[in-house]
Amino acid sequence: MNHAKNFFFAVFIIISTSCCSLPKIQKAADFRYEPIECGCRALFPKHRIQLVHSLTSILPNGDIHVAIGVTTISPETETIHCAIMTIEGMVLFEAEYNQKMTIHRSIPPFDSMTFAQNIMDDIRLALFKPSGALINVGHLTPDADICRYKQINGRTVDVMTYQNGDWEIHQYNSYYKLIKTIRAYYSSDNNHGISEKNGRMPSMYEITTPGVFGYSLKLELMETRQPS
């Protein structure tokens, strides 16, 4: 029986890691390379900023939670502070990353280290320019430009920009399996659009992690602040 279990587990691993490939990029013409690359870099804040979002989360067990998220980032120092609270102001989760993770407060279902790590990874992927080497710049379609980064952990990050201003990030593991998707929109029900008032930040993010332990987050921008 154990041999059978090991066999099927091995088959599952082989199938799940061998059938993936990255989307094919049509290489950009020389005169388009720099504008596309600059467009990708421009998506991410360059200075310290605080964002307040209405947060809807769907956890792996199917539970849906609505809360307020307050995120402060400093791209210059690569630091993050994140707080999740109820609409009434009760803090459910508070943590920061400054070379290491520090959790100040966590209440179920936000009390696991896995949750804290996932939140920090999501923030880093959505708000910081991808780390690693830029290995390709071009087009996926006539309406979609793309910058591809290769990270030192073997992961690949694709940043795609669209003509209407919206953009996406796809993150792949070392086997080229899609492990996270971030969609950013500049028009939604709150109708912020692109403006200086909101610091030119997207009015909504949708973050999706697929799989059995996957989850999704929807963040609608309420306010941007310049923290002291």
Mean pLDDT, each 10-residue run in order, the chain (228 residues): 46 50 93 95 95 93 92 96 95 95 92 92 96 95 95 96 94 96 78 54 95 93 88
What's the predicted TM-score (pTM) here?
0.86
In three state form, how does the secondary structure of the chain look? CHHHHHHHHHHHHHHHHHCCCCCCCEECCHHHHHHHHHHHHCCCCCCCEEEEEEEEEECCCCCEEEEEEEEEEECCCCEEEEEEECCCCCEEEEEEECCCEEEEEECCCCCCHHHHHHHHHHHHHHHCCCCCEEEEEEEEECCEEEEEEECCCCCEEEEEEECCCCEEEEEECCCCCEEEEEEEECCCCCCCCCCCCCCCCCCEEEEEECCCCCEEEEEEEEEEECCC
- In the chain, domain spans: 20-44+132-185, 45-128+211-228
pLDDT value at position 227?
81
pLDDT value at position 61?
85
